[in-house]
Chains A and B, each alone.
Chain A
């Protein structure tokens, strides 16, 4: 007992890092905000990626912050019947929807300046950049519903059942939207000269 209590804080955190999301959520609910730090570290990369594909925002850090703040505030209402990640991705989707609506209402939307530009690129890099731009424009060309399905299922590899749970729609609707989203994407690529 005495040895355990003398462990440095970092080591205690490492032990906590092995705990499940549900355990960490429980500890957060008991007031341990440091456990939320671990949840943030576990999920921020994926949340960030989803938000970036859905919002294409230059204020990505602010939007990510908004997602985790909403999650922290909503923890007491979180029904632990579903996975924490599913619940968190739903919040991310809600925030992305809000952002889209705000952008549609005329707020300033800055163009994202990609940081990949370099003066010395070889041909492969140039092709990769070209395809990246194509995927980006293809996603932007889709409706928000179709884009969401494609991002969650095809890019983030979240199973259809979980996608249905995140979006609150039947699995059949997920399949249908996925079919149409892929068809639209393929059509866009064809128009741009890429045959898939």
Chain B
């Protein structure tokens, strides 16, 4: 059996009347408040522009596209050109000879091979565009 809802106590109304009768009154508004508010709402565009975030900028897609194009063009300009078949052959020969030297445990043989291949390294140096080539690398003198 549910209990019937009890009506609010009589003194609730007395309390409410007391509150309404003695409620604190807010101070009078400034005379220009209405005009201030109307003035503020009539310039909403400027406020929006100030609050705009960088990632909402209309220049963002343009900037990204320009960066990509500059990156591709820059890579093509800076990247080294392809070697000629003759240079590739020389490089292959050099790798074959030096490979033998690197697997050989005998240090004395290694140095002798390296010395014998000194002339070939100059060829490889020509292959490279850089002046700091292998030919300039001082081979150790074991004598």
A contact residues around B21 at 8 Å (CB): 131
Interface of A is mostly: helix
- Asked if B30 lies at the interface with its beta carbon under 8 angstroms from chain A, I say yes
- Asked if B19 lies at the interface with its beta carbon under 8 angstroms from chain A, I say yes
- In the bound assembly, the distance between CA atoms of A134 and B38 in angstroms comes to 37
A contact residues around B20 at 8 Å (CB): 154-155
- In the bound assembly, the distance between CA atoms of A53 and B19 in angstroms comes to 12
**Inter-subunit contact A135/B23 (CB<8 Å):** yes
A contact residues around B34 at 8 Å (CB): 37, 40-41, 44
**Inter-subunit contact B23/A60 (CB<8 Å):** no
- Asked if B44 lies at the interface with its beta carbon under 8 angstroms from chain A, I say yes
Shortest Cβ gap from A54 to chain B (Å): 11
Interface residues contributed by chain A, number (CB under 8 Å): 40
Among A36, A69, A114, A155, the residue within 8 A (CB) of B19 is A155
Interface size bucket, B side?
A: 20 to 34
Of B15, B24, B33, B44, most A-chain CB atoms within 10 Å: B24
**Inter-subunit contact A48/B29 (CB<8 Å):** yes
Task: A41-B34, A44-B29 given; name 19 further pairs at CB < 8 Å.
Answer: A33-B38, A36-B38, A37-B38, A40-B37, A44-B34, A48-B29, A49-B26, A51-B26, A56-B24, A60-B26, A68-B37, A112-B27, A132-B23, A134-B22, A150-B19, A182-B15, A185-B15, A189-B18, A196-B15
Count how many pairs of residues, one from A and one from B, have CB atoms less than 8 Å apart in the complex: 84
Given contacts A37-B38, A155-B20, contact A61 B26 (CB under 8 A): no
A contact residues around B42 at 8 Å (CB): 33
**Inter-subunit contact A154/B19 (CB<8 Å):** yes
What are some 24 contacts across the A-B interface (CB < 8 A)? A33-B42, A36-B41, A37-B34, A37-B38, A48-B29, A52-B27, A53-B23, A56-B24, A60-B26, A61-B30, A61-B33, A64-B33, A68-B41, A131-B21, A132-B22, A132-B23, A134-B22, A135-B18, A135-B22, A135-B24, A154-B16, A185-B15, A186-B15, A196-B15
